[in-house]
Amino acid sequence: MNTTIQRETLLHQLNWRYATKQFDPQRKISPGDWATLEEALVLTPSSFGLQPWKFIVITDPAIRERLLPVSWGQRQVVDASHLVVFAIKKTLSEQDIDHYLGRIAEVRNVPLESLAGLRDMLIGSIIKGMDAQARKAWAARQVYIALGNFLNSAALLGIDAGPMEGFQPDQYDEILGLDQQGLSAVVIAAAGYRASDDKYAALPKVRFPRGQVIAHI
């Protein structure tokens, strides 16, 4: 049976969340809550369902200290309970398409050959219809869907999170060995619990009025 949360709860949590700048390094996300956030990432929608990404969860303090200098010295990288690197697959290929189709056949219990038309469409659209640069840009757009899903899911659990583009992706790729895996970091997010003296936590949320950003036709 489908269950929903109250409308007021949703809006309250979205108003509560903010891009946390200062985390309490003593507070850690519980294993159960973190497992829920990982599952939320798995459930993120993507174009064609292709999921051209990998999410690298970093809890090792030594690795995070190495990432700090290439993150503009932003303490969220080391102080947050968890750090997630949202990475894309740099070179999507027909093999990736076939891997995805195999998963469809497995989960939905359908013959692989019944997916031949979908295979032709995906290869024509993604592999042959885009050059390498366009495919990387497409994959990056998918990653930002995952980021938004992660931020909102964290807020609904009462967990603070902050998206971060202020880092050197090439250095992340090198330190984390992403290059060898055919991956490239696009954006990161720190998650945990806000410090009691984070001045940004109490600032009013600044948004344009609904009438200025939503149009009804």
Tell me the Cα Rg of the chain.
19
Report the distance separating Cα 100 and Cα 94, nearest Å: 10
CATH number, domain with residue 20: 3.40.109.10
Residue 185, in any domain of the structure: yes
In the block, tokens 């696009």 appear at: 186
Q: What is the pLDDT of residue 109?
A: 98
Query: 15: domain range?
Result: 7-90+132-194
Q: pLDDT (tens digit, 9 = 90+) per residue, 69-114?
A: 999 999 999 999 999 999 999 999 999 999 999 999 999 999 999 9
Q: In whole angstroms, what is the distance from residue 7 CA to residue 15 CA? A: 12
pTM of the model: 0.96
| Sheet containing strand 160-164, strands side by side | 53-58, 82-89, 183-192, 160-164
Provide φ and ψ at 6, rounded to 5°. Answer: -70, 145
Looking at the domain assignment, is residue 27 inside a domain? yes
Residue 137, in any domain of the structure: yes
- Whether 202 is in a domain gets the answer no
CA 211 vs CA 14, 27, 28, 214: distances in Å: 19, 39, 39, 6
With respect to residue 13, please indicate whether it lies within any of the assigned structural domains.
Answer: yes
Task: Specify the DSSP class assigned to residue 99.
Answer: H
Using 70 as the pLDDT threshold, list the residues of the chain that sit under it.
none
Inter-residue contact 24 to 194 (CB < 8 Å): yes
What domain count does the chain have?
1
Domain-located, residue 108: no
Helix (H, G, I), strand (E, B) or coil at 126: helix
For residue 165, give the nearest of 145, 147, 188 by alpha carbon.
188
